A and B are shown apart, each in its own frame.
Chain A
Amino acid sequence: MIRTAFLAAVLALYSFAAAAQGTIKIAILGPMAFVQGENHWAGAEMARDEINKAGGINVGGKRMQIELIRGDTNEIQSVPDATNAMERVITRDKADFVIGGFRSEAVLAMQEVAMDYKKLFLGAGAAHSKLGANVEQNYERYKYWFRVTPVKDVDLVRTLFAVMGAIGQQIRTDLKTDTPKVAILAEKAVWTEALVAAAQKNLPGMKMEVVGTWQPSATATDVTAELSAIDRAGAQIVFTMLSGPVGISVGGQMCEHNMKAVAWGINVEAQKDEFWQAAAGKAQFVSTLDTYAEVEMTPKTVPFVRAFRQRFNKSPTYNAATYDAINMLKAAIEQAGSTDADKLVPVIEKIEHIGTGAVATFDKRHDLVWAVGKTAGIAVQWQDGKKVPFWPPQVKGMQAFKMPAR
């Protein structure tokens, strides 16, 4: 009894001292055993080291250092683990701000916990619109949520069609055909439903013919059946909407079958450095939406990508935008002069933050405002083992899109 009281007193003193010392605790939540969590943490570490070395964050005259708390949510395998982690970093580790998340099902649950405690939760991975819709429907409760990356799923569609138009044009000139044939290959998932419908509706209007829609499971390892059918239908573009390992199978098996079609779309696995090896070197010409490359999306992009590669020996994925999130937080705190969440919310709502992957502004759902060259991302294509960025063409550093030889 006395021991517990003593311990409590010591802890109280310690936390008081720690607060007096001036650290801002930022919790980074992600699946740390997987590449998404690794990127969350890596981007955050880079931001923390840079900011702390420059003197920390100026909170109304007082300089405070950033302290990172690492929260492993294990969300890919277990949603309750993710909410436990959120609760732990807020109540146990006394985090002031939370950044991260990846699996939409888990982030929806984590959002509830963070909003209960009125903590600022900056999303760095989940694209589902519901996260933003919650803000619109119940502003007072959900206003502490902002999505720093990626753009919400319906905006991803707009980017996809913009690039699709560019590729379609190239096919028209190269292959001398008026209406390129498109096969839709989308994994069966809620997030692809709207995209598939939008594609089926809009592609004919873009003078492209949809030859069919195939929907394998997200974890399918064998797509030869689908690809044979697509080949037989004579498609020239395979419009992919894949987030799971099926993306690897598609890339590798398309090459194995010597298909003349080119794959474009969302292929999350193809965004990773390990993709080429995972497809056993057979992923030539697979193209996908991506966020980071050594191109001058913003003045900060190239230095960030180079520094990241140098420190961590791999390229950043979109989850590394925790770097942007922390820098944006710093700007907001310095502008508001306080770390109080209620004071920061209106500041972030009006902020325009030039990050490394995007120039971020937020709409009333606290989602990124979509604009080509600002938040729409880039498109990359795998050529001979390297990810080559090719869109938007006006950004410095972009290269040419290649088609399989016929």
Chain B
Amino acid sequence: MLQDILVTGLVNGGVYALLAIGFSLIFGVARIVNIAHTAFYMLAAYCFYALLVKGGLGFLLAGSISVLAVTALSVLCYRLVIEPVREHEAAVLIATIALALVFQELMLLSFGGNYLGIPSTIEGGVRFLGVGIPYQRLLILLVAAAMLTGVWFLLYKTRLGLAIRATANDLEVASLMGMNVHRVAMATVAISVALAAVAGVVVAPVFVVDPFMWLAPLVTMLAIVVLGGLGSLKGSLIGALIIGYVEAITVFALPAGAYLKGAVALLIMVVVLLARPEGLFGVAFEEER
């Protein structure tokens, strides 16, 4: 049982990490709580389904096009819908909720409410420590690791990354220093949604695709990001692993209580918040504008 927990927790944690890091990035830089984050993940899954199953394109091509299309859409949405109301935090919040609802309904109308399945990129599995792991899940883990490394490289080794970190640190001073804050915000949105889109493409074969698939990961992702600390990437990663393991432990230790795994994860989040109000690695923002 222990090896089950180890492996399952790691794989699920990897998936959650992909989603959480993107969300955390956008919050850290643009102070936007993007409720539509997992809705983009859903859009990418649908796009992948449409291109792969209906269009007959290859995995790599379908996947890349999906990611690019969804990223482009997100930047468009940001310009049209979010940027005009940036000043009003509450308005941004429900703008993203409304956006997510629009995507959900569009998918419901185009594809129907049925559950759709996407064939795995690689069939078959391997036995590791006595636990059967399908190759698809290993792929998810690899992609997650690659993406995370890519993001780290981007943030810490490039000028754009420097600009992003500076803007996250202090918006006004960054602007004073000559950085185009709007462009940086757009770039951040693009990167963050790209991460979610990659997650959608890679994870969708493992889960089922339906217009409401964005709600459950949303809650878990929010729990992770809050647990790890909004705006902290390290926090999101560690939070993702914690929640992944908590869920695995719940399922293995209490087979009759498997349905509780969501509630337990949230309970952990609440407990951590009580002890540390900014999350594990979060930064308490002194002055919020």
Q: Which residues on A are within 8 Å of B, measured CB to CB?
A: 33-35, 76, 187-188, 212-222, 224-226, 228-229, 231, 245, 248-249, 252, 256-258, 269, 272, 274, 277-281
Residue from B119, B132, B259 in contact with A220 in the complex, judged by beta carbons closer than 8 Å: B259
The distance in angstroms between the C-alpha atoms of A43 and B206, with both chains bound, is 34
Q: Which A residues lie within 8 Å of B259 (CB)?
A: 187-188, 215-218, 220
A187-B259, A221-B206, A225-B248 provided; 18 other pairs, C-beta below 8 A? A214-B258, A215-B255, A215-B258, A217-B259, A217-B261, A217-B262, A219-B216, A221-B216, A229-B4, A245-B210, A256-B125, A257-B132, A272-B114, A274-B115, A277-B53, A278-B116, A280-B117, A280-B120
Known contacts A34-B113, A221-B216, A277-B117; is-contact A249 B208 (Cβ 8 Å): yes
- The 10 listed contacts between A and B (C-beta, < 8 Å) are A76-B113, A188-B258, A214-B255, A225-B4, A225-B248, A225-B251, A228-B132, A229-B1, A278-B208, A280-B119
B134 at the interface (CB under 8 A from A): yes
Residues of B within 8 A of A33 (CB): 108, 112-113
Q: Give the residue name and chain of the A residue nearest to B249 (CB).
A: A225
Residues of B within 8 A of A (CB): 1, 4, 8, 12, 53, 108, 112-120, 125, 131-132, 134, 136-137, 205-208, 210, 213, 216, 248, 251-252, 255-259, 261-262
Q: How far is the CA of A216 from the CA of B248 in the complex (A)?
A: 12
Q: Select one of B108, B114, B205, B216 contacting A280, CB under 8 A.
A: B205
Chain A contacts for B210, CB-based, 8 A: 245
Identify which of B4, B114, B207, B257 contacts A35 (C-beta below 8 A).
B114
Given contact pairs A219-B216, A248-B117, A274-B115, A224 touches B255 in the complex (Cβ within 8 A):
no
Chain B residues with CB under 8 A of A35: 112-114
CA of A87 to CA of B227, assembled, Å: 45
Report the Cα distance A120→B157, complex, angstroms: 71
Inter-subunit contact B258/A256 (CB<8 Å): no
What is the bound-complex CA distance between A188 and B120, given in angstroms? 28
Docked-complex contact A257 and B134, CB < 8 angstroms: yes
Asked if residues A248 and B4 are in contact (CB atoms below 8 Å), the reply is no
Say yes or no: B256 contacts A229, CB within 8 Å: no
State the CA gap A249–B12 with chains docked (Å): 15
* Cβ B255 vs Cβ A212 within 8 A: yes
Minimum CB distance partner of A279 in chain B: B117
B108, B134, B213, B255: the one contacting A226 at CB < 8 Å is: B255
B121 to chain A, nearest CB (A): 11
Query: Please, which residues of chain B bring their CB within 8 A of the CB of A224?
Result: 8, 137
* Cα(A258)–Cα(B136), bound, Å: 14
Q: How far apart sit A269 and B53, CA to CA, in the bound complex (Å)?
A: 20
Minimal beta-carbon separation of A313 from chain B (angstroms)? 13
CB neighbours of B12 from chain A (8 A): 222
Provide the bound-state CA to CA distance between A256 and B131, in Å.
Answer: 13
The reply to whether A214 and B116 form a contact with Cβ atoms under 8 Å apart is no
CB pair A221–B125 under 8 Å, yes or no, is: no
B32 to chain A, nearest CB (A): 27
Shortest Cβ distance from A215 into B: residue: B256
A228 neighbours in B (Cβ, 8 Å): 4, 8, 131-132
Nearest CB of A to B20, in Å:
17
CA distance A34 to B112 in the complex (A): 7
Bound CA span A258–B132, Å: 9
Chain B residues lying within 8 Å of A213, measured Cβ to Cβ, are: 255-256
Give Cα A256–Cα B259 distance, bound, in whole angstroms: 22
- In this complex, which of B1, B116, B208, B210 has the most chain A Cβ atoms within 10 angstroms of its Cβ? B208
Contact in complex: B207, A225 (CB < 8 Å): no
- A245 & B113 in contact (Cβ 8 Å cutoff): no
- Using known A-B contacts A215-B257, A229-B255, determine if residue A269 contacts B134 with beta carbons closer than 8 Å: no
Beta-carbon contact of A216 and B258 below 8 Å: yes
The answer to whether B119 touches A221, judged by C-beta atoms less than 8 angstroms apart, is: no
Give A385 Cβ to nearest chain B Cβ, in Å: 12
Q: In the complex, which of the residues B4, B115, B255, B256 contacts A245, with contact meaning CB atoms closer than 8 Å?
A: B115
Residues of chain B lying within 8 A (CB to CB) of residue A279: 117
The one of B117, B208, B248, B255 that contacts A281, using a Cβ cutoff of 8 Å: B117
Minimum Cβ distance to chain B for residue A237 (Å): 17
Q: Are A226 and B251 in contact (CB under 8 A)?
A: yes
The answer on a CB contact under 8 Å between B258 and A217 is yes
Contact B119 A225 (CB under 8 A): no
- Distance between A363 CB and nearest chain B CB, rounded to angstroms: 33
Of B117, B120, B136, B137, chain A has the most CB atoms within 10 Å of the CB of B117
Q: Once bound together, how far apart are the Cα atoms of A236 and B188, in whole Å? A: 51
Complex: A45 Cα to B108 Cα, angstroms: 23
Taking a contact as CB atoms under 8 Å apart, the answer to whether B255 and A278 are in contact is no
The smallest beta-carbon distance between B186 and chain A, in angstroms, is 32
- B256 proximity list for chain A (CB < 8 A): 213-215
Q: Give the nearest-CB partner of A228 in chain B.
A: B4
Contacts of A269 in B (CB 8 A): 115
**Distance between B227 CB and nearest chain A CB, rounded to angstroms:** 20
Given the interface contacts A213-B255, A222-B207, A228-B4, does A278 sit within 8 Å of B114 by beta carbon? Answer: yes
In Å, the complex CA distance between A248 and B207 comes to: 9
Which residues of the partner chain B approach A216 to less than 8 Å between Cβ atoms? 251, 258-259
Closest 8 pairs (CB-CB, A-B): A188-B259, A217-B259, A280-B117, A221-B207, A225-B251, A278-B117, A34-B113, A278-B115
In the complex, A214→B4 CA distance in Å? 15
A232 to B185, CA, bound (A): 50
- CB <8 Å contact, A225 and B108: no
Q: Are B1 and A222 in contact (CB under 8 A)?
A: no
Q: Which residue of the partner chain A has the closest CB to B210?
A: A245
Q: Is the Cβ of A248 less than 8 Å from the Cβ of B208?
A: yes
Q: A33-B108, A225-B248 are in contact. Are A252 and B4 (CB under 8 A)?
A: no
Q: Is the CB of A274 within 8 A of B114?
A: yes
A234 to chain B, nearest CB (A): 14
Give the shortest distance, in Å, between B2 (CB) and chain A (any CB): 12
Q: Which residue of A lies closest to B258 (CB)?
A: A216
User: In whole Å, how far is A240's beta carbon from the nearest beta carbon of chain B?
Assistant: 14
Most buried by A among B4, B114, B206, B261: B114
Give the shortest distance, in Å, between B138 (CB) and chain A (any CB).
12
CA distance A269 to B108 in the complex (A): 18
